[in-house]
Amino acid sequence: MKLAKEGLLTIIVTAVLAVIFTILFPGRLITIAMYILCGFVLWFYRDPDRVFPEGENILTAPADGKIVEIEPAEHPFTGASLKIGIFMTPISVHINRVPCECTVEYIEHVPGRKIPTFAPKASEVNERNYVGLRTSYGPILIVQIAGTMARRIVCRVKCGDTLNAGDRYGMIKFGSKVDIYLPADIKLSVKTGDNVYAGVTILGVVKK
């Protein structure tokens, strides 16, 4: 199983603690609990390879999870757009991916609160990281939003980086939300309540 590099230290620490607890407290509930924690950490940091779907002018989901909102929106980087909000649970794959071939043009980290990400105002008041992408379809913005359990937003890219469709660009540790601002005239392939998978699920087709 492939693992996210950001989790290697946590995985090593929990594995070492599990061994120590086995030596000190063999057969105890606390030792069993430590192995369960170790298993959860391994599961959380899994990073499966994905195959980008075939098709023309398609944009894929930036995160695994459930679509909780689809609404018109506006941002200085994108102008008028269509925002799709994806809620990630603690058991989702937390690696985030770009929806198409692109160049990173804008990055901004905004400190903030950590209220539950299903709250209506979470996208506006929580800690978040904006990544603006220049694409052949126009500007696209992805926003990583920290939630109640999220302890760290990871962004692996920098301005000027060129990425292929479906490439990994970051992750959010322990549950959160990702918003994506798409071209306003996109023909959607999804609806609220759908489960989506980063780099695999087609959100829609761009009219060119």
Q: Report DSSP letters for 104-172, one per residue.
A: EEEEEEE--B---TTSTTHHHHB-EEEEEEEETTEEEEEEEEE-SS--EEEE---TT-EE-TT-EEEEE
Is 176 one of the catalytic residues?
Answer: yes
Contact between residue 156 and residue 5 where contact means Cβ atoms under 8 Å apart: no
Select from 157, 185, 159, 127 the least CA-distant residue to 62: 157
Question: Which of these is catalytic: 92, 123, 136, 176?
Answer: 176
What span, in angstroms and rounded, lies between the C-alpha atoms of 16 and 39? Answer: 13
What span, in angstroms and rounded, lies between the C-alpha atoms of 115 and 76? Answer: 25
Select from 206, 204, 200 the least CA-distant residue to 93: 200
Select from 108, 90, 76 the least CA-distant residue to 171: 90
Which residues are the active-site residues? Answer: 176
